[in-house]
């Protein structure tokens, strides 16, 4: 190959390359293209729902598999005054509120939550960033709590309101962490509100006093510092309307992949 | 015979092959770039089910060395200074800690959410396109006729001959150029039957939802972090294939190859006495 030709090909390649990169970023800012991507997100969710048995259990591991270095992410120690006040009394005055579209709103102490039928499971926690850690969780079955509160027929989602402000820059009040799941996942046997991790009281960095475990979904669905559970018919009007702190910021609401 | 070799245009690639080829180029390019974006959210790789954070087998990060930030990549026990490309890159003065540099990722700026959305979108295109290719190619006999090596191509002597001539950048001419050579056939088969399906299977194995549906699959790969590693290695093998493929496309007659993948027509020299 002649030098000229090689130079020509290199120049053509470099030009195409930079056009391609600029094109990618312009597409990322284009609302039509984002609409198309959103459609694919619905296919992804639909495909997962279609192939996954609703009751299929996430794999459970053994004590030998436990991570010695289970990573904590998101808020490590909430600075919100209400939370700090609860922490100062070791959650003696903590109440888990269960309300919204329920027949019997509940306000439970930690002792009452611990007295609820429980489940213990050793599962793999998969962060959206790509890493995994294996931990042992013991917690109250969410299904038992919801049965006690008795959902109204209009209820379609369960929202978890948390104590931590993860984005203090959000001045519209949407910086507070929250998450939501549908009733299939809410009534899944492995969905629990964990108060123990690796046989010890749940540490603050992992979400004390209560953290949601909704196995079969990614880490950001496992809401920490859960204060209030609300049954709703629609996710509109909560946070920025996408059903969770990270879904409000572009992540998938259904985080099965 | 003194006849000059005659150029003959043969039909080399069917419309379906050409269309799926170019859609695959688009899908794989964006899958790679959005994949590197996702990788950058945690630029380290592990083996097994879980991450062992202090013992990744691959990692890319920024380290302060003599008060100066450097990009350090580790592979196995080895350390490499990859400043400017891996771990610590960007224009002078505006460098940032990131696994792969911005020119390699889609979008160029850091956004795991966008990277994931792009990745899953192009994964759909890739899977639908790949299935269409496989169904059509099996149904019409393309795989059997054009990609499975013929008996005469499988003799050790022939394979050795092909390796030697390839290494010298000499390519089959005349009648022999009507079909793919044996190295080409085996490489294409390895890509379409092994590497590309492996990308889908290891990708699915990273889904906690899919794991619950088909727990056996992630175990075949040795756990979720192994699946992530194999996803990365398989993607690297595809990149290597594409580099070699492009070099050979240029070396074995750039315009003729490009024309055949666009119009389907491929020119071969047919000598008078053999025509």
State mean pLDDT over B196-214.
97
Q: Predicted confidence band at A1 (pLDDT cuts at 50, 70, 90)?
A: low
Residue A86 lies in a domain: yes
Query: Which of B103, B108, B208 minimises the CB distance to A256?
Result: B208
- How many residues would you count in chain B? 275
d(CA A205, CA A207): 6
Is A131 inside any structural domain? Answer: yes
Token duo for residue A144: 């038992």
Min Cα separation A251/chain B (Å) = 5
| Number of neighbouring beta carbons within 10 Å of residue B257 | 18
How close is the nearest chain A Cα to the Cα of B156, in Å?
A: 31
pLDDT band at B90 (very low <50, low <70, confident <90, very high): very high
Q: Are residues A37 and A83 in the same domain?
A: no
A202: three-class secondary structure by DSSP = coil
Dihedral-angle region of residue A8 (phi above 0 means left; psi in -120 to 50 means alpha; beta otherwise):
alpha
Could you say which DSSP state residue B195 is in? I
Q: Shortest CA distance to A162 belongs to which of A174, A145, A179, A181?
A: A179
Say yes or no to pLDDT of B274 above 60.
Answer: no
Shared domain for A45 and A146, answered yes or no, is: no
Is the per-residue pLDDT at B2 higher than 60? no
pLDDT of residue B3 exceeding 70 = no
Chain A within 8 Å of B117 (Cβ-Cβ)?
A: yes
Residue A212 inside a domain? The answer is yes
Cβ contact A251:A129 at 8 Å: no
Res A29: pLDDT: 85
pLDDT band at B4 (very low <50, low <70, confident <90, very high): low
What are B20's strand-pairing partners?
none
If you average pLDDT over residues B172-189, what whole number do you get? Answer: 91
Same domain, B124 and B174: yes
Q: Which domain holds residue B78?
A: 45-99
Work out the average pLDDT over A88-112: 98
* Domain assignment of residue A254, yes or no: no
User: What is the per-residue pLDDT across A227-245, written as a single tens digit (0 to 9) for each?
Assistant: 999 999 999 999 999 999 9
> What is the structure's pLDDT at A3?
66
Range of the domain at A42: 1-51
Residue partners of A134: CB distance under 8 A and separation at least 6? A61, A65, A66, A67, A70, A122, A123, A124, A125, B49, B50
Mean pLDDT of chain A: 94
Mean pLDDT of B59-79: 95
Q: In chain B, which among 124-163 make CB contacts under 8 A with chain A?
A: 124
- pLDDT tens digits, one per residue of B163-180: 999 889 888 888 888 899
Cα B142 to chain centroid, rounded? 21
Q: State the total domains in chain A.
A: 2
Element (H, E) at B218: helix B215-220
Question: How would residue B181 be classed by pLDDT, with cut points 50, 70 and 90?
Answer: very high
Do residue A140 and residue A35 come from a single domain?
A: no
A231 in Cβ contact with A158 (< 8 Å): yes
pLDDT at B133 over 90: yes
Q: Which helix (H) or strand (E) holds B224?
A: helix B224-251
Residue whose tokens read 């610590």: B88
Residue range A109-118: mean pLDDT, rounded: 98
Residue with tokens 């062992």: B52
Tokens 């597409």 belong to: A27
What was the pLDDT predicted at B162? 92
Categorize the per-residue pLDDT at A254 as very low, low, confident or very high, splitting at 50, 70 and 90. Answer: very high
Least confident of A25-39, A93-107, A191-205, B131-145: A25-39
CATH of the domain at A76: 3.90.420.10
Residue by residue, DSSP assigns A20-54 as HHHHHHHHHT-HHHHHHHHHHHHHHHHHHHHHS-T
Find the mean pLDDT for residues B241-260: 95
Model confidence at B7: pLDDT above 90: no
Question: Is residue A255 in some structural domain?
Answer: no
* Per-residue model confidence (pLDDT) at position B270: 81
Quick check: B159 pLDDT over 80?
yes
> What mean pLDDT do residues B194-210 have?
97
Backbone angles phi, psi at A207, to 5 degrees: 115, 20
Alpha-carbon gap: B236 to the closest alpha carbon of chain A (Å): 18
Of the CA atoms within 13 Å of residue A64, those in its CB half-sphere come to 0
Task: Please indicate if any CB of chain A lies within 8 Å of the CB of B252.
Answer: no
B244 located within any domain: yes
Q: Are residues B141 and B17 in the same domain?
A: yes
pLDDT at B275: 40
The whole-number average pLDDT for the span A114-140 is 98
C-beta separation of A175 from A169 below 8 A = yes
Output the pLDDT for position B1: 46
* Residue B236 shares a structural domain with residue B131: yes
User: What pLDDT was estimated at residue B225?
Assistant: 98
Short-list A104, A212, A224, CA closest to A158: A212
User: What tokens were used for A173?
Assistant: 């009040």
Cβ distance A131 to B108 less than 8 Å, yes or no, reads: no
Return the bridge partners of A132, or none: A126
A112 and A230 belong to one structural domain: yes
Does the structure show a pLDDT above 50 at B254?
A: yes
**Cross-strand partners of A193:** A140, A212
The answer, for A3 touching chain B at a CB cutoff of 8 Å, is: no
B169 three-state secondary structure? coil
Half-sphere exposure of B37 (CA within 13 A, CB side): 26
In chain A, % of residues over pLDDT 90: 79
Structural domains counted in chain B: 2
């Amino acid at each position: 190959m002649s030098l000229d030709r090689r130079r020509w090909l290199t120049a053509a390649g470099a030009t195409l390359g930079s056009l391609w990169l600029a094109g990618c970023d312009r597409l990322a800012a284009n609302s039509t293209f984002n609409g198309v991507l959103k459609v694919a997100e619905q296919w992804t969710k639909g495909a997962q729902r279609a192939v996954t048995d609703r009751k299929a259990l996430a794999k459970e591991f053994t004590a030998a598999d436990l991570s010695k270095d289970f990573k904590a992410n998101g808020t490590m120690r909430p600075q919100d005054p209400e939370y700090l006040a609860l922490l100062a009394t070791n959650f003696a005055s903590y109440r888990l509120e269960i309300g919204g579209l329920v027949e019997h709103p509940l306000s439970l102490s930690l002792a009452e939550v611990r007295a609820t039928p429980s489940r213990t499971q050793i599962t793999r926690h998969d962060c959206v960033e790509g890493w995994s850690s294996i931990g042992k969780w013991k917690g109250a079955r969410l299904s038992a709590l919801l049965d006690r509160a008795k959902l109204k027929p209009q209820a379609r989602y369960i929202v978890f309101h948390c104590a931590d402000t993860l984005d203090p820059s959000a001045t519209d009040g949407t910086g507070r962490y929250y998450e939501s799941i549908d009733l299939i996942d809410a009534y899944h046997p492995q969905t629990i509100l964990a108060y123990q991790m690796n046989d010890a009281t749940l540490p603050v960095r992992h979400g004390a006093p209560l953290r949601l475990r909704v196995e079969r979904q990614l880490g950001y669905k496992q809401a920490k510092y859960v204060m209030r559970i609300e049954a709703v018919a629609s996710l509109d009007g909560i946070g920025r309307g996408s059903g969770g702190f990270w879904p409000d910021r572009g992540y998938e609401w259904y985080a099965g992949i | 015979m003194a006849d000059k070799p005659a150029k003959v245009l043969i039909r080399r690639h069917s419309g379906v092959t050409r269309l799926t080829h170019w859609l695959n180029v688009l899908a794989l390019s964006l899958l790679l770039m959005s994949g590197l974006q996702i990788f950058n959210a945690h630029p380290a790789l592990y083996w097994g089910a879980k991450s062992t954070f202090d013992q990744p087998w691959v990692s890319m990060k920024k380290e302060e060395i003599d008060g100066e930030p450097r990009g350090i990549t580790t592979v196995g026990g080895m350390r490499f200074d990859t400043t400017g490309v891996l771990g610590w890159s960007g224009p002078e003065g505006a460098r940032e800690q990131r696994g792969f540099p911005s020119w390699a990722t889609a979008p160029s700026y850091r956004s795991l959410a966008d990277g994931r959305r792009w990745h899953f979108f192009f994964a759909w295109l890739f899977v639908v396109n790949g299935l269409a290719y496989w169904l059509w190619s099996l149904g019409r006999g393309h795989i059997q006729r054009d990609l499975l090596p013929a008996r005469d191509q499988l003799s050790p002597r022939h394979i050795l001959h092909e390796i030697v001539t390839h290494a010298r950048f000499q390519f089959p001419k005349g009648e022999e150029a009507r079909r793919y050579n044996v190295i080409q056939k085996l490489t294409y088969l390895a890509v379409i039957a092994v590497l590309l399906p492996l990308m889908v299977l290891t990708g699915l194995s990273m889904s906690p939802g899919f794991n619950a549906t088909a727990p056996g699959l992630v175990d075949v790969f040795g756990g979720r972090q192994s699946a992530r590693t194999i996803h990365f290695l398989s993607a690297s093998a595809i990149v290597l294939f594409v580099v070699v493929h492009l070099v050979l496309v240029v070396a074995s007659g750039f315009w003729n190859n490009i024309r055949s993948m666009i119009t389907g027509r491929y020119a071969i020299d047919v000598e008078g006495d053999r025509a």
